[in-house]
Amino acid sequence: MKERTPLVKTIGLKRYFYSRPGFLARCLLGEKERTTKAVDGVDIYIEEGETLGLVGESGCGKSTLGRVIVGLYAPTAGQVLYEGKTEPNGQMIFQNPYASLNPRHTVRQILGVSLEKRGVPLEEREDESVKLLERVGLTPLHLDQYPRQFSGGQRQRIGVARALAMRPRLIVADEPVSALDVSVQAQILNLLEGLQAETGVSFLLISHDLAVVHHASHRVAVMYLGKIVETAPTESLFENPSHPYTQALLSAIPRLGATGESRIRLQGTVPSAVDPPPGCRFQTRCAHKMDICAEMEPLPVEIRGDPGHVVWCHLRASKS
Ligand SMILES: Nc1ncnc2c1ncn2[C@@H]1O[C@H](COP(=O)(O)OP(=O)(O)OP(=O)(O)O)[C@@H](O)[C@H]1O
Ligand SMILES: [Mg+2]
């Protein structure tokens, strides 16, 4: 089969954060410099017009991965390629649009800043802004209003319009509906789906809400402590979760969990991204741990008969 170039591809992507403790902490408590391995070797791809859902516990590195992909953070190692080039063409929308919109700017100014960055001449900016507002379900009457004058859902629409102003090929939506009422969540998700149908924009959809990810994603990637542990087309992942971590994650939602099975409780403490365990990072909490899990990092294994369903787990490697 001929390999197509995906819209976005990450190769061995890493992003570490270094923190140097203050003088007292170093001298009195003996604290050393710490390295947080927030993203630690991620290889994913996103096709044009595709939504990739990204799930995993708090602190596993989802937002950091999203920020590196759109170019807000430089990678510590590895690469992000947009159609084979290193020029990023992604924008972000955030969980709390209110915090990410300048409260002293009108919508006209907020969109103006992005249009200016894209090089749209001053005299065309009003027309462009009106088109953007209409595209996200707002009207020209909103141009001279301030963020505080809008509802949560409307503010998220402004966040989407601001992202669209840059004509991105990819939008990283980081918990885009978590702060909204359920009825409004559906409206925003429909808006994003419509934009994708119209423009072919791709999404990386980061969400804690597995029902949202199930509904809105073509494929899903599961992240644990800086690494991807499983990725699959959405239906395969939800019907046949193959990594013990994914199984535990999905069993927490009764409606989507495996039928009749009760919730899997994870054993052990959540290890830290400062000092991740050797071998498989999930070994300290895994009910199926084998000797090799503490010794070697698992390699990706494709589930037999399920193309595109890949899992990083020694258990699967020994079965195939
Ligand atoms: N700017 C930063 N400086 C230092 N450490 C950071 C920074 N941003 C994130 N981290 C650390 O990197 C790790 C991953 O954080 P990140 O915010 O990417 O996780 P997340 O999966 O998005 O979590 P959540 O679901 O809570 O949003 C955490 O240990 C976090 O403390
Ligand atoms: Mg986050």
Structure tokens at 171: 């939008």
Residue found by looking up tokens 């992000």 in the block: 80
In a domain, 160, yes or no: no
For the stretch 128-140, pLDDT in tens is 999 999 999 999 9
Q: Is residue 128 part of a domain?
A: no
- Nearest ligand to the C-alpha atom of residue 57: 1
Containing domain of residue 63, as a range? 8-89+168-319
**What's the rounded Cα separation, in Å, for the pair 210 and 172?**
17
| Ligand 1 pocket member 204 (CB < 6 A) | no
Q: DSSP code of 252? A: T
pLDDT attached to residue 161: 97
Query: Phi then psi for 179, rounded to 5 degrees?
Result: -90, 5
Provide the angle, in degrees to the nearest 10, between the axes of the packed helices 107-118 and 152-164: 20
- Taking alpha carbons only, the member of 33, 10, 13, 14 closest to residue 22 is 33
Kindly report the pTM of this predicted structure. Answer: 0.93
What ligand is nearest to the CA atom of residue 273? 1
Domain annotation covers residue 261? yes
- Given this model, what pLDDT does residue 319 score? 61
User: Cβ(61) to ligand 1 under 6 A?
Assistant: yes
Question: Measured in angstroms, how far is the CA atom of residue 180 from the centroid of ligand 1?
Answer: 22
Does residue 65 lie in a domain region?
yes
Residue 247 covered by a domain:
yes
CATH number for the domain spanning 271: value is 3.40.50.300
Residue 150 lies in a domain: no
**How sure is the predictor about 26, in pLDDT bands with cuts at 50, 70 and 90?**
confident
CA of 42 from ligand 1 middle (Å) equals 15
**What domain count does the chain have?**
1
Asked whether 66 lines ligand 1 (CB < 6 A), one says no
Q: Whose CA is nearest to atom 5 of ligand 1?
A: 17
172 CA → ligand 2 middle, Å: 11
